[in-house]
Amino acid sequence: MYGTGEWRGLNAHREELDGVHLRDLFVADPIRGERLIAETDGLLLDYSKNRLTDETVELLGALADRAGLRARIEAMLDGEPVNTTEDRPAWHPALRRPDPPPEVRAELGRMAAFAGEARSGRWDAVVNIGIGGSDLGPAMATAALKAYGNTELDVRFLSNVDGAHFREVTRGLDPARTLFIVVSKTFTTTETLANAITARDWIAHAVGVEQASSHFAAVTASPNKAQGFGIHDDVVFTMWDWVGGRYSLASAVGLSFMTAVGPDAFAAMLAGMHHIDEHFRSAPWTENLPALLGLIGIWNRNFWGWPTYAVLPYAQELALFPAYIQQLDMESNGKSVQTDGTPASTATGPVVWGQPGTNGQHAFHQLLHQGTDIVPVEFIGFCRPNHSHTEHHDLLMANLFAQAEALAFGASDADDPHRQFPGNRPSTVLLGDQLTPRSLGQLVALYEHKVFTQAIVWGINPFDQWGVELGKTLATGIAAELAGTADPSPARDSSTQSLINRYVMKR
């Protein structure tokens, strides 16, 4: 899009906004905060505290049109091979349609039966073994909807190959009453296989080798490999190759989450996702929440030049949401080559970070308010809590509103320069009615499509992740050396080699 009239128009428009303070924009338009919003299905997006005007939104819409966003949305939702480097669809929206493809419907039925049985008292604990997209989604969602979960069943998540994680996740569990779900699309991921083998030994030690396999289920696109590991056919669930790992929460990858909250809550999450899918397909850009969020992100990233943004949920239950969005956004859009193989001509995916409010206020908000870098913030909050401590909730939300206000408007009446708040720092607020299975589904789909919107404008493929491969290959070679089954590589640099030597000497 770089070099087009639309891009140049936005650049010129941004120059006009240089030096314009958010205070000026709100004074000039007293109902700006009531106008620059969009809403769907109870979810409100207030983007008025960004450094933009109606004209900006219009120009960004024209940029989206120029990029062909509408047609690309249709292609993605209709299952066309939009993942061009791997020549396959990225058809996660099919997983949450009310009329899903037959194989999806069948798998949902198998999942519900499995989850129902797992919740019926046979097990005390279910441990999901997976990493990246095979962990972050179900872990995030299970934590988010604890209030909807089965209190009798302890659902835990094991991801890191660090043995300390295995030790902590299994701490206090009775192996005889623990079920493991091994989740790996490829069933080749080193971390997941190492944890699965250790889990199998742990179970076998307690109940005997013959019984061990009855403590395992699997979710994978490579069922033969799961069977090779000794997992029974009838508890191997399918993940299709047309679902990307970080887009897979609505597939069988969400099995541990479904086990925690039950099939009805899972279905409600799917309905929330589907609502956003259809909204993304049909709403005009000025009312389209995912498109607006994505286009404002582009405005901040490319035209103001801010390289990072923070996701700050004012909901402790969404503590893992920033980490989930980090994978979704950074693994999707951390690319410097366009779909046609040419170098990206503009900056692409920003650095995403964050943690729940109010904790962050006592940690990094100092930099947000007075640091030399501007960090756009996406606040997430809800009108009603999932607990009865309503006075806590008022305090929590008062802080969210105050932070957005302070960032935007600052305070310039202090004589002491150390106490000046420049303001003019952009933020967006997502305000939902309540954190429920449906609204969680809305949020997940909203961010998926935000990331998609940006990828289309940047001309990159958000659905591959070749950038993770080199590290995996090198680690495999080094692991073989550490295990004594391979010689040191003569081509290796002196730094890496001496670190390895020192490790081997001291371990």
If you write DSSP's letter for every residue of 338-363 in order, what string do you get?
-TTSSBPSS--PPEEE---TTGGGGT
| In the complex, residue closest to ligand F6P by CB | 245
- The set of long-range contacts for 306-309, using a CB threshold of 8 Å and a minimum separation of 24, is 306/350, 306/373, 306/374, 306/375, 306/376, 307/347, 307/350, 307/351, 308/350, 308/351, 308/352, 308/353, 308/373, 308/375, 309/350, 309/351, 309/352, 309/375, 309/376, 309/377, 309/378
- Helix 469-482 to helix 494-506 angle, to the nearest 10 degrees? 40
Quick check: 186 binds ligand F6P (CB under 6 A)?
yes
450 is catalytic: no
Answer for which of 50, 178, 184, 195 binds ligand F6P (CB under 6 A) is 184
Question: Least distance from C-beta 109 to ligand F6P, angstroms?
Answer: 23
Question: Least distance from C-beta 465 to ligand F6P, angstroms?
Answer: 5
- Residues 215-254 binding ligand F6P (CB under 6 A) are 245-246
Instruction: State the binding string over 314-343 for ligand F6P (x if CB under 6 A, else -).
Output: -----------------x------------
% helix / strand / coil in the chain, to the nearest 5? 55, 10, 30
Quick check: 256 binds ligand F6P (CB under 6 A)?
no
Q: Would you say 332 and 488 are in contact if contact means Cβ atoms under 8 Å apart? A: no
Question: Least distance from C-beta 472 to ligand F6P, angstroms?
Answer: 8
Stretch that binds ligand F6P, among 102-110, 179-187, 310-318, 399-407 (CB under 6 A): 179-187
Which amino acid type is present at position 130?
A: G
- Residues 190-219 binding ligand F6P (CB under 6 A) are 192
Question: Least distance from C-beta 164 to ligand F6P, angstroms?
Answer: 20
Q: What is the 3-state secondary structure (H, E, C) of 18-79?
A: CCCCHHHHHHHCCCHHHHCEEEECCEEEECCCCCCCHHHHHHHHHHHHHCCHHHHHHHHHCC
Q: Which is nearer to ligand F6P, 182 or 396 (by Cβ)?
A: 182
Q: Which of 297, 279, 278 is nearest to 287 (CA)?
A: 279
Cβ neighbourhood burial of 364 (10 Å; 0-12, 13-18, 19+):
middle
Q: Which is nearer to ligand F6P, 53 or 134 (by Cβ)?
A: 134
Stretch that binds ligand F6P, among 86-94, 126-134, 301-309, 377-385 (CB under 6 A): 126-134
Question: Least distance from C-beta 92 to ligand F6P, angstroms?
Answer: 13
Taken in order 325, 328, 331, 335, is the CA torsion positive or negative? Answer: negative
Do β-strands 351-353 and 377-384 pair in parallel, antiparallel, or remain unpaired? unpaired
Q: Which is nearer to ligand F6P, 189 or 348 (by Cβ)?
A: 189
Q: Which is nearer to ligand F6P, 120 or 224 (by Cβ)?
A: 224
Question: Least distance from C-beta 105 to ligand F6P, angstroms?
Answer: 23
Cα–Cα distance measured from residue 295 to residue 285, given in angstroms and rounded to the nearest whole number: 9
Stretch that binds ligand F6P, among 64-72, 182-190, 353-361, 448-456 (CB under 6 A): 182-190
SS3 at position 502: helix
Stretch that binds ligand F6P, among 27-35, 186-194, 223-231, 361-369 (CB under 6 A): 186-194
Quick check: 88 binds ligand F6P (CB under 6 A)?
no
Answer for which of 14, 72, 92, 185 binds ligand F6P (CB under 6 A) is 185
Q: Which is nearer to ligand F6P, 107 or 331 (by Cβ)?
A: 331
Question: Least distance from C-beta 231 to ligand F6P, angstroms?
Answer: 15
Which amino acid type is present at position 339?
A: T
Query: Which tokens is 203 given?
Result: 């179970």
Q: Which is nearer to ligand F6P, 131 or 400 (by Cβ)?
A: 131
362 is catalytic: yes
Quick check: 137 binds ligand F6P (CB under 6 A)?
no
Q: Which residues pair with 125 in a beta bridge?
A: 154, 178
Q: Would you say 379 and 430 are in contact if contact means Cβ atoms under 8 Å apart? A: yes
Q: Using the structure block, give the residue that is written with the tokens 């300390």.
A: 164
Q: Would you say 188 and 180 are in contact if contact means Cβ atoms under 8 Å apart? A: no
Q: What is the 3-state secondary structure (H, E, C) of 76-144?
A: HHCCCCCECCCCECCCHHHHHCCCCCHHHHHHHHHHHHHHHHHHHHHCCEEEEECCHHHCHHHHHHHHH
Neighbours of 17 (CB within 10 A): 16
Quick check: 131 binds ligand F6P (CB under 6 A)?
yes
Quick check: 348 binds ligand F6P (CB under 6 A)?
no
Question: Least distance from C-beta 192 to ligand F6P, angstroms?
Answer: 5
Cα–Cα distance measured from residue 368 to residue 423, given in angstroms and rounded to the nearest whole number: 10
Stretch that binds ligand F6P, among 184-192, 208-216, 273-281, 495-503 (CB under 6 A): 184-192
Identified catalytic residue from 107, 191, 331, 448 = 331
449 is catalytic: no
Instruction: State the binding string over 434-473 for ligand F6P (x if CB under 6 A, else -).
Output: -------------------------------x--x-----
Q: Which is nearer to ligand F6P, 185 or 450 (by Cβ)?
A: 185
Identified catalytic residue from 210, 362, 418, 469 = 362
Q: Which is nearer to ligand F6P, 208 or 471 (by Cβ)?
A: 471
Active-site positions read: 331, 362, 472
Q: Which residues bind ligand F6P (CB under 6 A)?
A: 131-134, 184-186, 189, 192, 245-246, 331, 465, 468
